[in-house]
Amino acid sequence: MAPKKLSPIPPRDQTGTVVKNYRLGEVLGRGSNGVVYKSLNMDTGDVVAIKQLPLHKIPKSELASIMGEINLLNHLDHRNIVKYLANHKTKDFLNIVLEYVENGSLADTVRKFGSLPESLIAVYIEQVLEGLCYLHSEGVIHRDIKGANILTTKEGLVKLADFGVATRLEDGKVKDYDDVAGTPYWMAPEVIEMAPPSTAADVWSVGATIVELLTGAPPYFELAAMPALFRIVQDPHPPIPEDTSPPLRDFLLLCFRKDPATRQP
């Protein structure tokens, strides 16, 4: 029997290629499972972001989860949530077309301009909370709130992005929970201990994100991931940055309550 001929793996950089009626332009970001391109609608002139996922890297078992993310995004409609526009599947890629948010992420903002003042952080976090209130009212937990997943427009409008690990509540509970999701330094203690996630986990991550914007890094970032996770679980609460104003300190302590049932911003 002749050996099975393998399909060639597509080139890593797809800049300049056309998907449907979109031409892919500069790379906006790269992740473990794909690349995001700034793209131009060749019919209307609209600029969008296309998240391109190589199908050869996606196990069939994960494809259903990705299509679930698309379905979830398709049903969300709020000014503080990045807008889903369409998806196009080719032989090599799944292309998710999203609203383009021109200023990039808050993590980018901190890298470019340094730590932010409390007054500006308040402007951003108020909008983050509005987006989260909407998500939670729709029965959705984001599960990966951090500076890299919070985008801003040039007018300072905040958009929550990257719903790759988001999950939907059914009757107030997560159905078929069997994984730990999120990014270590922003994780709530109950998530680390593998309790089923709740909306309170997003609130903890908001607190860690505030510390990130204040100092340039989330709590315990000076540690490797595993020791940081241990400290998140064992410490009464993450360290509050020096010179934090009393109102913000009180707010952070509300976000960092160990008991999810009493945690609120």
CA distance 93 to 102: 24
Structure tokens at 190: 């109950």
Structure tokens at 126: 């108020």
Q: How far is CA 240 from CA 37, 170, 255, in A?
A: 37, 35, 11
Residue 165 buriedness (CB in 10 A; 0-12 / 13-18 / 19+): middle
Structure tokens at 172: 């107030």
Q: What are the φ/ψ torsions at residue 52 (nearest 5 degrees)? A: -105, 120
- The closest alpha carbon to 151, from 217, 101, 113, belongs to 101
- The closest alpha carbon to 260, from 210, 187, 152, belongs to 187
SS3 216: coil
Q: 109: left (phi > 0), else alpha (psi -120 to 50), else beta?
A: alpha
Q: Which of 43, 144, 162, 250 is catalytic?
A: 144
108 is catalytic: no
Note whether 37 and 52 are within 8 A (CB): yes
CA distance 154 to 89: 31
The neighbouring-strand residues paired with 36 are 29, 51
CA distance 148 to 132: 16
Is 5 labelled as part of a ligand binding site? no
Q: What residue numbers does the annotated binding site for ATP cover?
A: 51
Active site residues: 144
Q: What residue numbers does the annotated binding site cover?
A: 51
